[in-house]
């Protein structure tokens, strides 16, 4: 049984089925028809929808495993994967735990305790700070959740007067994601690279260090693009990383697959400082990582299969396999990077990224809800060289078919092609520097015309559309937040607009010629949304509808979610400053701040903590 959901559950099930192992899924009410529940041989319901009521309820999951007749439990990643109490409960029920011992998990589950152990083992690290003793000279600092990972419960603090507030926010987010709200503070290293080492250990004393990974491209401290091996590290740095990772595993008698994470400061390829000065232990993840496929591709292994074999008591070979080539992974999220990474919901009509490995927990027609992480899939490319792997992945994503909510696909393509990334000069502040350029709208100028022609030909079969090429027509579309009106002639061949000729036109394919260049457009429509190659358009009515009646200064929910807190002391009549955070929404396990649009006074406050809101709901009014 996989005590998880979505992409990782499907990933583990795939290997199990290849090995002839029958599978059991658990699913919440929100996941009743989710892909992981469909592909498993057996599925057991966990009543409720929120993680706290379902996937974080260890006692319910153990009961489900026993009821389904499972003999082993794989925790996946996130949720209870690094919960020693859950591991013990699995073992106490007579089941096999596919992971390290509860004692090993416990040793690393608290990041503060882990740092103490690593310090004693001689591993270089950033020592935690006493939150009450942090001074201006210590800034910037990083607030981190003691349990879990994935960027949840993490905050960079650059101003001393907000430290207390950020500690509280990080604690609330960590509690929601992992069931443990404890947090700590450590120095924040500017312009560092996030590098990790994959380890696999058996119960017979063998520990493999399966290369490095670079995970520096992150948003909200959550990884977006990862690669193996980490490029540009000097041999001294690599040796230090392998030695530290192996020491960490041996210190806690680790078994199974795990990851030891580090910050590498400065130029990792430079020898002007010792490796001890540049390498800082962050944490050890006592589980499989989201980015494990890049290591699998480079070393030609199946890490899930190795986990299962180690759990059965098998011994590893004395030496790990040799690496070959380079692999890059990009995480495809249902989110809008141009709107503070706001998660998106709705129906995923079509998802196809041909030519590369695609790990996903969604099928065509599935619904992306508000309760869980916004990741749709992971696309992975492997090639003999780094440049080829990057080019292959960027090309595959550029040609991908994604019909549904807004995604970060365009951001991924531009990131992979950015000069700083291709030259391996990136660090963890990459998106802080480049987000505005990477999210600047650049829609195809001919996409609205292609959409109009395809739509006209599709509708003409059912009547209601004039089919005379001599009669000009017009359509209105919303593209990247801007309204476009296209004037055209409905024709299958011939002039369609000034300077543009139709080579071919039909409801699913339009070929246009402009300036002697032919362009092919694949078109699909689902409701009011039209998908033209990589551009998403919203068809607008011929006559604009009246504007929604919202008072000036209205704060609307940018996404469906739960109001988790309101600024301290905020009531109707409270004065506020422009940009001040007023309301915090939780959606897809992340907190999102709603800020004051201008300096003024709160004239209305329509929500309270714990309230569920839909997208567009009126939260407050500031005048």
Q: Domain 127-187 falls in which CATH fold? A: Dna Ligase; domain 1 (3.30.1490)
* The pLDDT of residue 590 is above 90: no
pLDDT tens readout for residues 305-331: 999 999 999 999 999 999 999 999 999
Higher per-residue confidence, 356 vs 282: 356
Higher per-residue confidence, 551 vs 534: 534
CA 128 centroid distance within chain: 27
DSSP string for 23-65: -EEEEEGGGTT-HHHHHSSEEEEESSSSGGGTTT-HHHHHHHH
What span, in angstroms and rounded, lies between the C-alpha atoms of 366 and 126?
43
Q: Domain 554-622 falls in which CATH fold? A: OB fold (Dihydrolipoamide Acetyltransferase, E2P) (2.40.50)
- Give the pLDDT score at 582: 93
- Give the pLDDT score at 589: 64
What span, in angstroms and rounded, lies between the C-alpha atoms of 256 and 240?
22
Of 354, 320, 362, the residue nearest 206 (C-alpha):
320
Question: Which one-letter DSSP state was computed for residue 437?
Answer: H
What span, in angstroms and rounded, lies between the C-alpha atoms of 51 and 46?
10
What span, in angstroms and rounded, lies between the C-alpha atoms of 63 and 7?
23
Joined together, the tokens standing for residue 616 give 């567009």
Strands 350-352 and 366-368: unpaired
What span, in angstroms and rounded, lies between the C-alpha atoms of 511 and 297?
38
Q: CB neighbours (10 Å) of residue 536?
A: 23
CB 169, CB 178: distance < 8 Å? no
Joined together, the tokens standing for residue 421 give 């990334």
Q: What percent of the chain has pLDDT over 70?
A: 93
CATH architecture of 447-540: 2-Layer Sandwich (3.30)
Options 2.30.130.10, 3.30.390.50, 3.40.50.20, 3.30.70.2740; which CATH number does 6-98 get?
3.40.50.20
- Give the pLDDT score at 480: 84
- Give the pLDDT score at 186: 87
Joined together, the tokens standing for residue 438 give 């990477």
* The pLDDT of residue 243 is above 70: yes
pTM given for the model: 0.85
What are the boundaries of each domain within the chain? Answer: 6-98, 127-187, 192-222+229-323, 325-440, 447-540, 554-622
* The pLDDT of residue 21 is above 70: yes
- Give the pLDDT score at 452: 93
Inter-CA distances, 479 with 13, 298, 341, 385, 534, Å: 39, 40, 18, 37, 12
Higher per-residue confidence, 398 vs 181: 398
Place of tokens 């009531």: 571
- Give the pLDDT score at 211: 97
Q: Domain 325-440 falls in which CATH fold? A: D-amino Acid Aminotransferase; Chain A, domain 1 (3.30.470)
- Give the pLDDT score at 150: 60
Q: Where are the alpha helices (DSSP H) in 407-492?
A: 409-417, 419-422, 430-438, 447-460
Residue 291 banded pLDDT, cuts 50, 70, 90: very high
Domain pair 192-222+229-323 / 325-440, same fold: yes
Q: Domain 192-222+229-323 falls in which CATH fold? A: D-amino Acid Aminotransferase; Chain A, domain 1 (3.30.470)
What's the chain's length in residues?
623
Please state which of the ranges 153-162, 312-321, 407-416, 443-452 shows the lowest mean pLDDT.
153-162
pLDDT tens readout for residues 22-73: 999 999 999 999 999 999 999 999 999 989 999 999 999 999 999 999 999 9
Instruction: For the chain, give the mean pLDDT.
Output: 90
- Give the pLDDT score at 562: 86
What span, in angstroms and rounded, lies between the C-alpha atoms of 322 and 243?
18
């Amino acid at each position: 049984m996989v005590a998880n959901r979505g992409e990782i559950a499907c990933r583990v099930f795939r290997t199990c089925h290849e090995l002839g192992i029958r599978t059991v899924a658990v699913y919440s009410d929100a996941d009743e028809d989710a892909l992981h529940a469909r592909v498993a041989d057996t599925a057991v319901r966990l009543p409720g929808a929120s993680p706290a009521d379902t996937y974080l309820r260890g006692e319910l999951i153990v009961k489900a495993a026993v009821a389904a007749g499972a003999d082993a439990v794989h925790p996946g990643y996130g949720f209870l994967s690094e919960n020693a109490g859950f591991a013990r409960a699995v073992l106490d029920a007579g089941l096999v735990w596919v992971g390290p011992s509860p004692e090993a998990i416990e040793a690393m589950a608290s990041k503060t305790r882990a740092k103490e152990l690593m310090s004693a083992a001689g591993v270089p690290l950033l020592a935690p700070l006493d939150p009450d003793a942090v001074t201006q000279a210590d800034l910037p600092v990083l607030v981190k959740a003691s349990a879990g990972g994935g960027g949840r419960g993490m905050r960079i603090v650059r101003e001393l007067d907000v430290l207390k507030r950020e500690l509280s926010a990080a604690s609330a987010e960590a509690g929601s994601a992992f069931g443990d709200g404890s947090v700590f503070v450590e120095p924040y290293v500017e312009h560092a690279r996030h590098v990790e080492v994959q380890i696999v250990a058996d119960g017979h004393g063998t520990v493999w260090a399966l290369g490095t990974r670079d995970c520096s491209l992150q948003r909200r401290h959550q990884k977006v693009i990862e690669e193996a091996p980490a490029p540009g590290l000097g041999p001294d740095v690599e040796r230090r990383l392998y030695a530290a990772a192996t020491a960490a595993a041996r210190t806690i008698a680790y078994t199974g697959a795990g990851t030891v994470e580090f910050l590498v400061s400065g130029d990792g390829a430079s020898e002007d400082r010792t490796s001890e000065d540049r390498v800082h232990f962050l944490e050890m993840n006592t589980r499989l990582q989201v980015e494990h496929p890049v290591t699998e591709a480079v070393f030609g292994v199946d890490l899930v299969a190795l986990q299962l074999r180690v759990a059965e008591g098998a011994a590893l070979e004395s030496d790990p396999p040799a690496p070959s080539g380079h692999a890059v992974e990009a995480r495809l999220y249902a989110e809008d990077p141009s709107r503070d990474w706001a998660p998106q919901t709705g129906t995923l009509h079509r998802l196809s990224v041909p030519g590369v490995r695609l790990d996903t927990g969604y099928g065509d027609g599935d619904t992306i809800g508000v309760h869980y992480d916004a990741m749709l899939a992971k696309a992975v490319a492997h090639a003999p060289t780094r440049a080829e792997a990057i080019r292959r992945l960027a090309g595959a994503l550029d040609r991908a078919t994604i019909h549904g909510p807004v995604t970060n696909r365009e951001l991924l393509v531009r990131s992979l092609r950015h000069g700083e990334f291709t030259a391996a000069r990136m660090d963890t502040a990459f998106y802080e520097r480049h987000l505005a350029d990477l999210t600047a709208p650049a829609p195809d100028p001919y996409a609205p015309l292609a959409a109009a022609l395809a739509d006209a030909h599709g509708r003409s079969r059912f009547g209601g559309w004039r089919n005379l090429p001599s009669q000009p027509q017009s359509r209105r579309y919303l593209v990247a937040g801007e309204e476009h009106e296209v004037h055209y002639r409905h024709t299958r061949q011939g002039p369609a607009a000034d300077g543009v000729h139709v080579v071919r036109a039909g409801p699913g394919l339009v070929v246009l010629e402009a300036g002697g260049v032919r362009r092919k457009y694949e078109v699909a429509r689902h409701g009011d949304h039209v998908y033209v190659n990589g551009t998403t358009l919203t068809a607008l009515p011929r006559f604009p509808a009246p504007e929604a009646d919202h008072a000036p200064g209205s704060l609307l929910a940018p996404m469906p979610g739960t109001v988790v807190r309101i600024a301290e002391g905020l009531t109707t009549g409270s004065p506020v400053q422009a940009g001040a955070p007023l309301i915090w929404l939780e959606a897809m396990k992340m907190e999102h701040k709603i800020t004051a649009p201008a300096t003024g006074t709160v004239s209305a406050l329509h929500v309270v903590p714990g309230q569920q809101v839909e997208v567009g709901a009126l939260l407050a009014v500031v005048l």
